[in-house]
Structure 1
Amino acid sequence: MPLFINRDQIFAHQVHLLEHKLRSKEERILELETENAILHLRLAECLGKLRREKEEETKAQKNHQNQKNSQKITQSALAKLLSEVQAVKQDLSEVFGVYVNFATELQEKSKELQEKVEHASSVLKGHRGDDVQSLQDHVAALECSLEEEKQKCREERQRRRELHNTLVELRGNIRVHCRVRPVLHFDHVQPSTLTTGPALSEEVVYAVSDDTVLVNCMKTGIPVQNKMFEFERVHGPEDSQDAVFEEVKPLLTSLLDGYNVCIMAYGQTGSGKTHTMMGSQPMKEAQQGIIPKAAAELFRLISEKPAESHTVEVSVMEVYNNEVFDLLARDEDRNSVDQRRDIITTSTGTSQVTALTYEPVSSASEVMQVISGVLKLRARCPTLVHTDSSRSHLIVTLTISSNSPNALALARRLQSAKKDMQRSTQREWWSPRCRRANPSARLSSDELFASPASSPCHSPCHSPCPSPRPSISQAPFKTKLQLVDLAGSECVGMSGVSGAALWETSCINRSLSALSDVLGALAEQRPHVPYRNSKLTHLLQDAIGGDAKLLVMLCVSPTQRFITESLQSLGFGTRARQVQKEMPKRKKTPLK
């Protein structure tokens, strides 16, 4: 076997030498052809010169003798060139003959080497077929093991996310998702000649994983500083509307379980808030946002319940210049008193809007028809960032009334059990097996009676909860789905507005600052939370600091031009994650 390898090497070396010689001859041929072309050019040049000299001879008789001399010189030069051309042609014919010989020899050697390689391959296959098969089996086993490890890694990542979501819900924290939009046409602006540094259209915000955002903070003369932000879920520019909604979808199930839900989009103008919440126009199914998809999912869940067990009503409001307007009041005059609404706090501590208009709906298409009919009334104004910038906070509320017998029975059971717990905590029928018998492990009444099937005391003969009393009200209980599209959070200098629009921007910034102050007070657990500093925070008090399940969808721009606003939005989301609210509570009694 070693002899065969040396022989192959010798043959390969010979082939290499022959190829090298062939290339050298080909290069020589090219050189000669080039020289031949140059000589032909020179010959043509001389002939032209000769013709010109002949013409000059007919025109000027005085230079006749000089022309004769030049003709003699030219003829001698031509003779010399012709002799050189003939020599070059002779060399070219010799080179071509050598090239033909080398080509024939190379073809013969290649044929011989091919035969030897085929022979060696057959010998190698015969002697080492078993070894090759074992190696192939080993590689296949390794690939299978790698695929199993990847699957386990995906399962562990999913399990970690589920556990994290459970932990967030148990701690009562606000869920924060982030979406980084792609680079758009208005990101490409002409930089000022006076400014130096990174290009404004350069991408500096990246979704590096499904829960991490990376920001490259670049300044002139300062090394690049990377900032990392972690959230419950991060969507990159390549994520579709369906992928974004899949992360929001589990919250909608909580609506029919008796929980309030609020989904809020936060970010600067042009960062994709309205696209995320409403979708693109014209409304195509693939480009629908959270609001139409949430309505469709809600009615799909309702369709799985008993007939006529739930009713849905929709209301649409906007907070504009720190005033609440009812967009369903059918009055296009923004300054009309009929459209303005006040916010009151009920005896139960919840915030309500007086004289708010509710439209009953029975399908997702009716919801979108109602919303689309009043979106034109929303305050808009062109800015330097966007030609159709929203100048108000839009709040779409879907109120679900649960009329099903199961829901009523659950409400009566909870009320009855709560009263009995207060009156008779020391009765003998408190079984040690019931979780409520242990004061240290006592849970809230809504957890104890989440469903008759899951309760530890659901059996009729062992239930610690007496049967519903006839005096319990038969009114349904209600839950709310609030979908909020906030106005842009950019500064006045970035928006470039003036006049009346300047006051609008000031009101927007004050309301968003009030929202940030509320989150800061909740995160630091201050005794006073300034909800009433703004109509926006007062209106959303139940969702921000109450018992609703709140999800904040941060929308950020990826380019250097908006890095200040992007960092502000990411900082807002970080503060929101630090808020520890009370655990979301299931609605047990009707909303008044």
Structure 2
Amino acid sequence: MREQQQHIRAEVTDIGSTFKQEIQKLFQTMEKMADRSRALEQKYKMAMEDRKKLHNMVLDLKGNIRVFVRVRPINSKEKPHEPEGEPTINFKDDINIGVYDGQHSRRKFFEFDQVFPPTTSQIQVFEEAKPLATSTLDGYNVCIFAYGQTGSGKTHTMTGTGEDPGLNTRVLRELFRIRDERRNEYDIQISIAITEIYNEAIRDLLNPDGKDKLDVRINPDGTCGVPGLTETPVSNVDDVLKCIGDASKNRATSTTDMNEQSSRSHSIVTVRTKCTLKGSDTYIGKIHLIDLAGSENTNKSGVTGQGMKEAQNINKSLSALGDVIQSLVGKSSHTPYRNSKLTMMLKDSLGGDSKTLMIVCVSPAQFNVTESLSALNFASRARNVELGKAKRNVASNN
């Protein structure tokens, strides 16, 4: 009996030892697989970063309009009516977005330069736009504009709130940061003008009581400006916030069925910079930060009377913008900039040697899928516009 017990103990010990060795081998294999997975993930991230850098280099050479898409969160009114099953919006990765059209039971995919899901923060959007925006200090013309239907999140993206500002404030804050960083080598001056285009009339939001009629003038060199427009020097973020706050009070807004605070005009924040390398050249830059009024289905928005007139003018100017984009894509000999005040003001930003970023704001609701597809189709066409390589504006001091 004792011999049998000893024999059984020996066998159990051997089995336990073997089992322990196998478990250790399994853990080692799992650790190796985890290390390999982390290494592959790191390589994938590096490859994606390299792809984006190469892609941006190609865009710099071609001069294309860059296009970002930002999808806002679904709101409390939309959520109960969202059909089950296929999600209206889905994301393959950070450059591909899919839109499901329930009426036709099909999903269409689009590729853009960057796609932002509903969880994206204001700072994440700014970080992607920042290199383009700060090019103005190097003497480039830059234009960043938000496009999309009423209530899709354009004003949030461009203006934001006091606690969570949008691109307008963040871009100016970055310009001041760089100014302070370069203080010993450069003398940098920054000024701001804020206008709106309301019912095809240009209004100076920093001087709304001004009696002079404002219009766009095309200069002999192809640049454009608005003579008589108030241009205020700013030296810090507080100056900027005051200007933006004053302008916001004067901007035309109203309530529609689509949006409680619907922008009834195109808002244009224009920042001019003069950056002089001490004892050398001066670089003159300009950036337009534009919150376009929303494209509107008047049957959905429920507007009448004056609201209907506003909607018609908004849609007319956005249609003119579409005609300009289509003309640039087709490399037509004539581009119809003069068809609206909006396209006239953007002439030196949508054509020539500027750097342009279009941020398409999209609703995630199936109720708005027709408008979302329309906006993304428009954005796809815009992405094919070739502006030519951007050129610095240098005023020699020699």
Distance in 2 (alpha carbons) for counterparts of 1:301 and 1:261: 17
RMSD after superposition: 2.2
Whether the 8 Å CA contact 1:201–1:561 is kept in 2: the answer is no
Q: Map 1:105-120 to 2 at 5 A.
A: none
Distance in 1 (alpha carbons) for counterparts of 2:309 and 2:84: 28
Distance in 2 (alpha carbons) for counterparts of 1:162 and 1:382: 43
Q: Deviations over 1:99-133 (max 9, x none)?
A: xxxxxxxxxxxxxxxxxx99986542224444443
Structure 2 equivalent of residue 266 of structure 1: 147
Tell me if 1:490 matches 2:310: no
Whether the 8 Å CA contact 1:259–1:548 is kept in 2: the answer is yes
Tell me if 1:565 matches 2:371: yes
Structure 1 equivalent of residue 177 of structure 2: 300
Tell me if 1:209 matches 2:93: yes
User: Which among 371, 375, 392 is matched to residue 586 of structure 1?
Assistant: 392
Whether the 8 Å CA contact 2:192–2:231 is kept in 1: the answer is yes
Deviates most, 375-384 or 532-541: 375-384
Structure 1 equivalent of residue 251 of structure 2: 378
Distance in 2 (alpha carbons) for counterparts of 1:201 and 1:146: 32
Tell me if 1:543 matches 2:349: yes
Distance in 2 (alpha carbons) for counterparts of 1:200 and 1:506: 35
Structure 2 equivalent of residue 404 of structure 1: 277
Structure 1 equivalent of residue 110 of structure 2: 229
Structure 2 equivalent of residue 142 of structure 1: 33
Structure 2 equivalent of residue 13 of structure 1: none
Distance in 2 (alpha carbons) for counterparts of 1:118 and 1:480: 85
Whether the 8 Å CA contact 1:173–1:579 is kept in 2: the answer is yes
Q: Map 1:173-252 to 2 at 5 A.
A: 173-188=64-79, 199=83, 203-219=87-103, 222=104, 224-252=105-133
User: Which among 191, 209, 216 is matched to residue 313 of structure 1?
Assistant: 191
Q: How many angstroms does 1:365 deviate by?
A: 2.2
Whether the 8 Å CA contact 2:284–2:394 is kept in 1: the answer is no
AA aligned opposite 1:229? F
User: Which among 151, 164, 167 is matched to residue 290 of structure 1?
Assistant: 167
Question: SS at 2:388's partner residue?
Answer: coil
AA aligned opposite 1:185? S
Distance in 2 (alpha carbons) for counterparts of 1:500 and 1:401: 41
AA aligned opposite 1:366? D
Q: How many angstroms does 1:239 deviate by?
A: 1.1
Whether the 8 Å CA contact 2:195–2:202 is kept in 1: the answer is yes
User: Which among 320, 323, 327 is matched to residue 205 of structure 2?
Assistant: 327
Aligned-pair identity (%) = 39
Distance in 2 (alpha carbons) for counterparts of 1:238 and 1:127: 50
Structure 1 equivalent of residue 312 of structure 2: 506
User: Which among 315, 328, 337 is matched to residue 211 of structure 2?
Assistant: 337
Distance in 2 (alpha carbons) for counterparts of 1:298 and 1:263: 15
Whether the 8 Å CA contact 2:283–2:392 is kept in 1: the answer is no
Distance in 2 (alpha carbons) for counterparts of 1:377 and 1:119: 91
Shift of the 182–119 alpha-carbon distance from structure 1 to 2, 3 Å rule, reads: farther
Shift of the 183–118 alpha-carbon distance from structure 1 to 2, 3 Å rule, reads: farther
**Greater RCO, CA 8 A, separation 6+:** 2
Distance in 2 (alpha carbons) for counterparts of 1:144 and 1:254: 40
Question: SS at 1:276's partner residue?
Answer: helix
Q: Deviations over 1:115-164 (max 9, x none)?
A: xx999865422244444433433332222122111100110011101111
Whether the 8 Å CA contact 2:138–2:275 is kept in 1: the answer is no
Structure 1 equivalent of residue 157 of structure 2: 276
Shift of the 126–250 alpha-carbon distance from structure 1 to 2, 3 Å rule, reads: same
Q: Deviations over 1:27-59 (max 9, x none)?
A: xxxxxxxxxxxxxxxxxxxxxxxxxxxxxxxxx
**How many equivalent residue pairs?**
388
Whether the 8 Å CA contact 1:521–1:528 is kept in 2: the answer is yes
Whether the 8 Å CA contact 1:310–1:402 is kept in 2: the answer is yes
Tell me if 1:171 matches 2:77: no
AA aligned opposite 2:206? L
Deviates most, 523-532 or 476-485: 476-485
User: Which among 221, 230, 251 is matched to residue 357 of structure 1?
Assistant: 230
Shift of the 201–122 alpha-carbon distance from structure 1 to 2, 3 Å rule, reads: closer
Distance in 2 (alpha carbons) for counterparts of 1:558 and 1:251: 27
Distance in 2 (alpha carbons) for counterparts of 1:126 and 1:387: 72
Whether the 8 Å CA contact 2:138–2:283 is kept in 1: the answer is no
Q: Compute the TM-score of the two structures, normalised by the length of structure 2.
A: 0.92
Shift of the 135–399 alpha-carbon distance from structure 1 to 2, 3 Å rule, reads: same
Structure 2 equivalent of residue 391 of structure 1: 264
Is the radius of gyration larger for structure 1 or structure 2?
A: 1
Structure 1 equivalent of residue 45 of structure 2: 154
Whether the 8 Å CA contact 2:205–2:246 is kept in 1: the answer is no
AA aligned opposite 1:273? K
Extract structure 1 runs of 4+ deviating beyond 4 A: 117-123, 198-203
Q: Deviations over 1:314-368 (max 9, x none)?
A: 000000111111111152xxxx634x41111111111110111111111122111
AA aligned opposite 2:54? L
Question: SS at 1:373's partner residue?
Answer: helix
Shift of the 183–202 alpha-carbon distance from structure 1 to 2, 3 Å rule, reads: farther
Distance in 1 (alpha carbons) for counterparts of 2:16 and 2:141: 71
AA aligned opposite 1:510? K
Distance in 1 (alpha carbons) for counterparts of 2:240 and 2:62: 33
Structure 2 equivalent of residue 427 of structure 1: none
Mind listing any 5+ residue stretches in structure 2 that lack a counterpart?
1-7
Q: Compute the TM-score of the two structures, normalised by the length of structure 1.
A: 0.63
Q: Map 1:422-501 to 2 at 5 A.
A: 476-501=282-307
